[in-house]
Amino acid sequence: MTTAPPAAGAPPAAGGQAWRKHAVTLAFLGPALLLLGVWIVYPTVRTMLRSFFDRDGSAFVGIDNYEDIFTNEVIFRAIRNNALWVLIVPALVTAIGLVFAVLTERVAWRIAFRTAVFMPMAISLFAAGVIWRVMDQQDPDRGAINATIGVVKDAIDPPGSLSNAFASTPALEGDASRGLVLRRALEPGDVALLGLTGIPPGQVPGGAEQAADPGPGEGIRGVVWRDFKPGGGTPGKVEPGELGLPDVTVVLRDAAGKKVDSTQTGPDGAFAFDDLEPGSYRAGIGKATFAKPFAGVSWLGPNLITPALIFAYIWVWAGFAMVVIAAGLAAIPRDVLEAARTDGASEWQTFRRVTVPLLAPVLSVVFITMLINVLKVFDIVLAVAPGSVQDDANVIALAMWRTSFGGVNDFGLGSAIAVLLFLLVLPILALNIKRFRTEAS
């Protein structure tokens, strides 16, 4: 028997061939590595180093900038607001997207609905912020949200016909919140003159006629009129050219303040209370006449600016969540759902115990994506919040920009805030990478 000689090893590659092999790799990776180094690695390292220096970079201050983050009231409020965003927005966006995706799965117009919901994603967050800045205006004539609320509110509780009127003489006491009452006590046969002013010509009720000059009668008679005459006049006296105020509620009370009767004025402002028993009475104008119209909710004020921002942000991102979840829903095997229904599960049980667990990977994608997004939310806050309430609406990214470039020009503290934001995002990025590796394996 003979043994075969060992196989000869492959000859070493020529130096030129090995170099050319690595040169091709570098040719493809080189531009990307260069851009990553210039635009990501260097700024990250430089920002970390800069955070240990003072505002102009001339003196090393150690961790003083990081201490200032948690002692500065404005910046600490930004951290607190961001925590509120993290607790609310990711879960709410995911839940709304899930509901929209499930409810529109079987309807014929789902494409149109999903297109409408996804449409805000086609514009930038800054443009969306400009839209909501207008919609959240407090004036109902300008802000769409308050205009909608005003229509409902005025239908339920209509404003008074003379919301801006007030007494023309001291003979009437009270205010708009309580109504006006004639100071002088009345008895049957007396006349009550209830003059009002502060009523622009455009706010005089339609159908108003020359104010009546009531004379004494068996009961209590009177008139409510616009006590103003162009060119002058005598306050508290009905004169030619002065209009009566129709449809005004006049209330009559007894000496103890108990309501006895009420009536509405006619086109000439006249009213009368007949069949009264002898005694002392007080006549006045009911407070409903002076009820103010809906003035709007201050959505852009310090108390509601953060909820208004969160609502606008959810409006933008709900479409993204819906589309992603709908794609995952379409990939679920239908036989699994049908098997659950065949076994007697209700639609709610099928949704909770079959659909949601099968959608768990997709829901986690949406949730983690929204976590990262809300940590670095910036442009919509800058666009919606007026300058007077930006301290109340502040978030970490906006605080970093305002500290560095918004007039404070403290680049040391701004760099420290940027490092803090970077450290907050890192665990979520690590979780996302781990999830990707788990799905790939």
- Bridge pairing between strands 220-226 and 191-197: parallel
Note the pLDDT tens digit of each residue in 262-320.
999 999 999 999 888 888 999 999 888 888 888 899 999 999 999 999 999 999 999 99
| Residue 164 pLDDT level (bands cut at 50, 70, 90) | confident
236 within 8 A of 265, measured Cβ to Cβ: no
| Distance of alpha carbon 354 from alpha carbon 368, whole angstroms | 22
Q: What is the pLDDT of residue 14?
A: 53
- 227 neighbors 211 (Cβ within 8 angstroms): no
Q: Please answer whether residues 303 and 258 qualify as being in contact, where contact means their C-beta atoms are separated by less than 8 angstroms.
A: no
Average pLDDT over residues 245-250: 90
Both structure tokens of 272: 């009368």
DSSP class per residue in 24-72: HHHHHHHHHHHHHIIIIIHHHHHHHHHTTB-TTSSSB-TTHHHHHHHH-
Residue 148 and residue 182 in contact, taking contact as beta carbons nearer than 8 Å: no
Scanning the structure block, which residue is given the tokens 């607190």?
80
Boundaries of CATH 1.10.3720.10 in the chain? 64-149+298-440
Q: Considering the entire predicted model, what is its pTM?
A: 0.78
Look up the CATH number of domain 64-149+298-440: 1.10.3720.10
Judge contact between 219 and 273, C-beta under 8 A. yes
The structure tokens listed for 51 are 């955070």
Q: For 379-397, how does the pLDDT look when each residue is reduced to its tens digit (9 = 90+)?
A: 999 999 998 899 999 999 9
- Beta sheet of 249-254, edge-to-edge order: 172-175, 179-182, 281-285, 249-254, 259-264
Angle value at C-alpha 65, between 64 and 71, nearest 5 degrees: 85
| DSSP H stretches of helix in 248-359 | 305-330, 334-342, 347-350, 356-358
pLDDT of 342 over the 90 cut: no
pLDDT, tens digit (0-9, with 9 covering 90-100), for 65-108? 999 999 999 999 999 999 999 999 999 999 999 999 988 887 88
Closest by CA position to 136, among listed 292, 313, 291, 293: 313
Residue 352 DSSP one-character state: I
Which residues are CB-contacts of 138 (< 8 A; sequence separation ≥ 6)?
146, 295, 296, 297, 298, 299, 300, 301
Question: Does the pLDDT at position 10 exceed 60?
Answer: no
Q: What is the CATH code for 166-290?
A: 2.60.40
Q: In this model, does residue 222 exceed pLDDT 60?
A: yes
What is the distance between the alpha carbons of residues 199 and 211, in angstroms, rounded to a whole number? Answer: 15
**Cα 38 from Cα 44, distance rounded (Å):** 10
Instruction: Compute the distance between CA of residue 228 and CA of residue 167 in angstroms, rounded to an integer.
Output: 11
Mean pLDDT of the chain: 88
- Residue given tokens 């951290």 in the structure block: 79
